[in-house]
Amino acid sequence: MKINFIYFIIFILFLCRFSVAQTSNYIIELEGLDQTSPQDYEGITQSNFTAIGDSAVTIIKEKTSSVLTSLGFIDHSLEITLTDTSQSEKEKTIRVKVIEGKKYIVDEIIVESSSLEDDSHLIRELNILTGTPLNDAAVIAVSDKILEHYLNEGFLFARVKLNGFEKLEEDEDEVQVKLNFIIVPERKSVIDKVLTEGNDATDADVIVREIRLTERSVFNQSLSEKIVRRLKRLNIFSRVGTPEYFIDQNDKGTLKISLAEGNTNSFDGIIGYIPGTSGKEKGYFSGLVNMSFRNLFGTMRAFSLKWQQVSRSSQDLEINYFEPWLFGLPINLYPSFFQRKQDSTYVQRNIGLKTEVLASEFLSFSLSVHSEKVIPSAERTISLLSRSTSLSVGGGVKFDTRDDVFFPTEGLVFRTDYFLIRKEITKQIKSSSARIDLRKIVADFDYYQPTFTNQIFAVSVHGRELRGNDYDISDLFRLGGTNTLRGYEENQFSGSRLLWMNNEYRVLLAEKNFVFVFLDVGYYYRNIMNDNLSKVKFGYGLGVAVDSPLGILKVNYALGEGDSISKGKIHFGIINAF
């Protein structure tokens, strides 16, 4: 057994030596290059090429022919000889004599079809491809361009084929050719009905309404992308699948949309009790209650309530309701109620109604009516405030291209409103009434720009201005806190003119999760009862936003002007607002 094993090893080594002896290294030389250059064949001549026998010649011939064909030399021919160039049996030379022939150039492209009334746009697109060599890549590029055009026109089942080519002009070196394509468009992808899947809570009619299909809409790639974007902007679905189009058994064009319901209800509450500091002073409750229902009964109706006890003597209450598509028309209603108790000096109540007309997917106009009452506290006598009632009427415009309302990664939104206010004041001293006319201007601009992979730069600019000859502290705008100027207390500053900017650089960790650094700059001005004040403040810091069952929880650590690290402020906010 041991001797047989030794013989077996010797036999294997002999076969390996015989195989290596039959393998040669080849040097490739090209001759007859006229319109082509050696650089075109670098992939062949500079490769380490080894083969056995005639297979080397065959492989070289196939590769050289492939290069010539790709350059448009369809009528080329090759003469290949194999010679020894040295005394070594392992080194041989393959001489390739190239007869290039004439170069075929695409000069004109013709598409035969009777489905489109105007093919001028397609012809302009195809003309870009003329002047290129005639080869497989050119034919595929033209076919893809034709199919893309017909797919965008709604012919999802279109087929295209090359019906040959014709020689137009010919000289010693080149042949100009015309390519003839035939398009078989089949039927147009008209949407006859819509099927929805996964919308366990949301009414299917609401989905059909929000994707904004017209009568006998035609399905194509552009419409598919718009449908996904429109449904994502509603912010009631956690997932929106790519729409599918097919012909059902009744020969109806069917659009199928797969969805997953998201979280539309949230409750956020922090309640605390602060006991009194003395026997006569009573304790009080403080905290925050924030409830939001953004898809009531699956109809896209929404309701929110927010209560906030800032201190013993300051309290806010805000209630909002949203009624979409009133009577099936593109009109939205926003009734609202707001009450503020400010530092035991006054109580301010505001009841409003805003009507929004949806002019398009991105553009809307609004009209607003607000009734407001300011009641000074009976416990304190102040000269800055009188009992008053006011009626305001305003109009606004909004342009919004964001890809997501609460978590945008690109796009912009611009809002502006103008209000005329008629105010009736009962003066405390003379107990007489006076009328004051005021004007309010509100403008907001947000912009989101992707920079690098998973990174976004977000900037927002906001302006507020109150115009009139006589106004009191209840009319002023507020600045400071989570939603305006971070690094300062909520509503710490007030003014008749505000301007602030928020800059954030975000790094995405996952969908709807990101960390960020920010820089806020704010300006406020007021001139009331000889109180003339104008200042610029800034805040900076870092934060994190996390998708939670309550919505997107945003936490900021901010430093205001002159603050040390230990005196920074932590701001909490839920991006699941009304």
Per-residue pLDDT of the chain (578 residues; tens, 9 = 90+): 555 656 556 655 554 444 444 455 667 888 888 888 888 888 776 655 555 556 777 888 888 899 999 999 988 998 888 776 555 556 677 888 888 899 999 998 888 876 655 567 777 778 878 888 999 888 898 899 888 888 888 888 888 988 888 888 888 889 999 999 988 888 889 999 999 999 999 999 999 999 999 888 999 999 999 999 999 988 899 899 999 999 998 889 999 999 999 888 877 777 666 676 666 667 766 777 888 899 999 999 999 998 888 777 788 899 999 999 999 999 999 999 999 888 778 889 999 999 999 999 999 999 999 999 988 876 655 555 778 899 999 999 999 999 888 889 999 999 999 999 998 887 654 555 578 889 999 999 999 999 999 999 999 999 999 998 778 888 899 999 888 999 998 889 999 999 999 999 999 998 889 999 999 999 999 887 667 889 999 999 999 998 876 667 888 999 999 888 888 888 877 765 55
Domains annotated on the chain, with CATH:
24-99 (3.10.20.310), 103-184 (3.10.20.310), 193-261 (3.10.20.310), 343-575 (2.40.160.50)
How are strands ordered across the β-sheet holding 159-170? 103-112, 174-184, 159-170
pLDDT of residue 21: 41
pLDDT of residue 557: 92
**HEC states along 121-175?**
HHHHHHHCCCCCECCHHHHHHHHHHHHHHHHHCCCCCCEEEEEEEEEEEECCCEE
| Angle at the Cα of 80 from the Cα atoms of 75 and 86, rounded to 5 degrees | 155
**Residues in Cβ contact with 17 at an 8 Å cutoff, skipping those fewer than 6 apart:** none
**HEC states along 2-18?**
HHHHHHHHHHHHHHHHH
- What is the spatial distance between Cα 73 and Cα 192, in angstroms, rounded to a whole number? 50
pLDDT of residue 578: 56
Q: Which of 415, 406, 327, 360 is nearest to 226 (CA)?
A: 360
**Residues in Cβ contact with 517 at an 8 Å cutoff, skipping those fewer than 6 apart:** 504, 505, 540, 541, 542, 543
Contact predicate 220/211, CB 8 Å: no
Structure letter (DSSP) for residue 277: S
- What is the spatial distance between Cα 416 and Cα 433, in angstroms, rounded to a whole number? 32
Structure letter (DSSP) for residue 49: -
Backbone angles phi, psi at 496, to 5 degrees: -85, -15
Size of the chain, expressed as the number of residues it contains: 578
- What is the spatial distance between Cα 393 and Cα 388, in angstroms, rounded to a whole number? 17
pLDDT of residue 18: 41
Contact predicate 443/424, CB 8 Å: no
The amino acid at residue 449 is Q
- What is the spatial distance between Cα 248 and Cα 192, in angstroms, rounded to a whole number? 10
pLDDT of residue 95: 84
- What is the spatial distance between Cα 201 and Cα 299, in angstroms, rounded to a whole number? 9
- What is the spatial distance between Cα 20 and Cα 38, in angstroms, rounded to a whole number? 31
pLDDT of residue 243: 95
- Surface-to-core class of residue 156, CB atoms within 10 Å of its CB (0-12 exposed, 13-18 middle, 19+ buried): buried
pLDDT of residue 463: 97
**HEC states along 443-455?**
EEEEEEEECCCCE
pLDDT of residue 87: 54
Distance separating the N- and C-terminal Cα atoms of the chain: 89
pLDDT of residue 450: 96
Q: Could you give the C-alpha distances from 199 to 203, 208, 241, in angstroms and in order?
A: 7, 12, 12
pLDDT of residue 89: 57
DSSP sequence for 469-509: S---GGGSEEE-STTS-TTS-TT-EEESEEEEEEEEEEEEE
